[in-house]
Amino acid sequence: MHLLSERARELIADEERYGAHNYAPLDLVVERAQGVWLWDVAGRRYLDCVSAYSAVNQGHCHPRIYDALVEQAAKVTLTSRAMRNDRMPGFLAALTRLTGYDKALPMNTGVEAVETAIKLARRWAYATKRVPADRAEIIVFFNNFHGRTIAAVSASTTPEYREGFGPFVPGFVAVPFGDADALERAITPNTCAVLIEPIQGEGGVNVPPDGYLKRAWALCREHDVLFIADEIQTGLGRTGDMFACDYDALRPDVLVVGKALGGGFYPVSAVLANDELMRHFEPGNHGSTFGGNPLASAVAQAALDVVASENLPARSRYAGARLMQGMRAIASPFIKEIRGRGLLIGIALTVPAKRLSEALLERGVAAKDCREYVLRIAPPLIIDDEATAYFLESFTDAVSALADGP
């Protein structure tokens, strides 16, 4: 069992006493972090295989992003969108150049960007596709995760995200992930969009069958439906390409980004689309006080520069291949499947994933379950060969320890 220092026990007790119990975190109380490593309040070191759910693709406390944050914080941090600021134009230009879209709409958290994409799709449906008022439908997928606002959980099929939070927002139709025929059957004249994660992260690191995304995209073209890619967790290098849709050479009508866009320093998200779609937003019908603020813009521009200049997608592809090759070489009755792409890896187990998570924590690796029987491995994309070897040695030992029972 993972041993806690007295200081850690005190901090955990205070959190449990004064905080709402809406998370079940690892009992790891982090005091500082650098690169791919975490240190707890007792000074013990851990390899981070969570990466704040892909928000720290660039590694913890990246010096270039840190410098951008500090420099901007000394000038101006917030103006609201009531006026313009000198940092947002550069950020928007960098983001649209990287992605190839005409326009970007900046928000803060990932779920805010998802909500923005939903509003954009509905607005387009009524103004352009001429769907009858209040009848627009968006197709989503079993085991999706788009956040936890009321609209996002209305689109969810996961019971624990929904129970006790109704009534739900209408207009979402769920179909099995990876079943193109089911998707085609679900499309009606009122369908305005398909909202999809190219690889489902929180749902269990579910990689779609080969050709599925291409067919889904083609169905959208055939039926005049928007293809919206939620790349909040899969984007900015995580899966071995800049965006997971790049693997299939797809260009979504609407691209949703977040998490690593803030470089682990600040919540930044955005929705990207071309002019013909984005023109449906006008002054007054959507906004955010903090979206595109000077501090966020400075941080995000630096975060994008690090992803591109340090070639993080290629580094993710290389390190991910090494990790999956190493894990697949382990013969164990506890491992059903190693799946994923780049550094978004899911380990399907025959025992609860929490057991393997705890065994890894004892050995200096922080990893979290994303389903009861699936452990997610997602270190920062800057992980090097030495840290990769450290993980594989720890993982091999932890899997062997599962035979000893709970």
- Catalytic site positions: 145, 230, 259
Helical H runs in 44-99? 51-54, 63-73, 88-99
Burial 310-323 (b: 16+ CB within 10 A, else e): bebbebbbbbbebb
Burial 212-231 (b: 16+ CB within 10 A, else e): bbebbbebbeeeebbbbbbb
Q: Could you tell me where the beta strands, DSSP code E, fall in 91-202?
A: 103-107, 137-141, 172-175, 191-196
Provide φ and ψ at 328, rounded to 5°: -70, -20
Handedness of CA 163, 165, 170, 174 (dihedral sign): negative
Distances (CA, A) of 151 to 243, 267, 355: 25, 20, 33
Rg for the chain, CA atoms, rounded: 21
- What gap in Å lies between CA 402 and CA 406, rounded to an integer? 7
Tokens of 403: 């035979």
Question: Residue for token digits 């580094």?
Answer: 315
DSSP string, 306-317: HHHHTTHHHHHH
Q: How many CB atoms lie within 10 A of CB 246?
A: 16
Task: Give Cα 377 to chain centroid, integer Å.
Answer: 13
Residues 6+ apart with CB under 8 A from 406: 355
The distance between the two most distant Cα atoms of the chain, rounded to a whole number of Å, is: 63
| Cβ atoms 329, 364 nearer than 8 A | no
Nearest to residue 259, comparing CAs of 381, 359, 162?
Answer: 381
- Residue 338 DSSP SS3: strand
Q: Which helix (H) or strand (E) holds 33?
A: strand 30-34
- What gap in Å lies between CA 139 and CA 104, rounded to an integer? 23
